[in-house]
Amino acid sequence: MILREEVAVDLATPTGLMRTYMFRPAAEGKYPAVVLFSEIFQATGPIRRFAAFIAGHGYIVAVPEVYHELEPLGTVLAYDQAGSDKGNADKYAKPLSSYDSDARALLDHLKALDDCTGRLGAIGICLGGHLAFRAAMNHDVQATVCFYATDIHSHSLGLGKQDDSLARASEIKGELLHIWGRQDPHVPLAGRDIIKARLEEVGANFQWLEVNGAHAFMRDEGPRYDPEATDQAFADMIARRKAAMARHESREGNPPPPPPGAAGPGGI
């Protein structure tokens, strides 16, 4: 499935304009939509390539600049120590409520698009994995994928480092997939166990995949990149999303979606 040219739009949020990069299939039709929340470096090359990968499987994808209140529009932080320091500083300078209002603005924008089926999902990487987890608390988010989500187990996202993400885990009603690298020092085994136990406690509809990889094993720049682990994670994500789509269609009594290019997929 080929794609249209990437487009940037500036969405209104309660805390100012948020530049958002849109990726979508070229074929006419209606498609489910997902928000792809980036790591701390914002819309880098690897994030844009991942967005294109998702869109190529039949989705409208929106990639927001998560630090739009703190950095000039269009800012991309470098994959170096200075970029890491700045990204982490911004992560803890932004109020939790602003992350949440950003997610709501993105979901409302996607739902209103003429070429969106109305089915919504969220995907996130690192910081973005945590943001996707919180976006999933919106009941119109039907499926969410979190790649090595940071700060959930430590309750430390946002200004004041006192988030309530695990406390609110019962609000996640859609399907949830967590993917982790076992050699990730930012979310060690003990941290992963805390998250998994809480999801079990609240009866969340979740699935869990761990691969032998470091933090950022999916980033196709730098020494941590593991193509084999990435292929495994991507294949699992796509297979589970297709299964979720089939379940939604079956529950609603709809026929299977037509082939790509006729009309877009019918589920998330």
DSSP class of 151 = S
Q: What are 55's two structure tokens?
A: 């869109």
Q: Of the listed 102, 151, 163, 184, which one is catalytic?
A: 184
Torsion (CA) 230, 232, 235, 239 in degrees, nearest 10: -140
Residue written as token pair 């819309």: 43
Q: Of the listed 151, 215, 226, 248, which one is catalytic?
A: 215
Distance (Å, rounded) from C-alpha 70 to C-alpha 92?
A: 11
Integer Rg of the chain from CA: 17
**Quick check: is 164 catalytic?**
no
**Quick check: is 215 catalytic?**
yes
Beta bridge pairs of residue 31: 116
In this structure, the number of other CB atoms found within 10 A of the CB of residue 178 comes to 23
Whether the CB-CB separation of 112 and 147 falls below 8 Å is answered with no
Number of H helices, E strands in the chain: 6, 8
Distance (Å, rounded) from C-alpha 10 to C-alpha 20?
A: 6
Q: Of the listed 102, 116, 126, 146, which one is catalytic?
A: 126
**Quick check: is 126 catalytic?**
yes
Indicate which residues carry an active-site annotation. Answer: 126, 184, 215
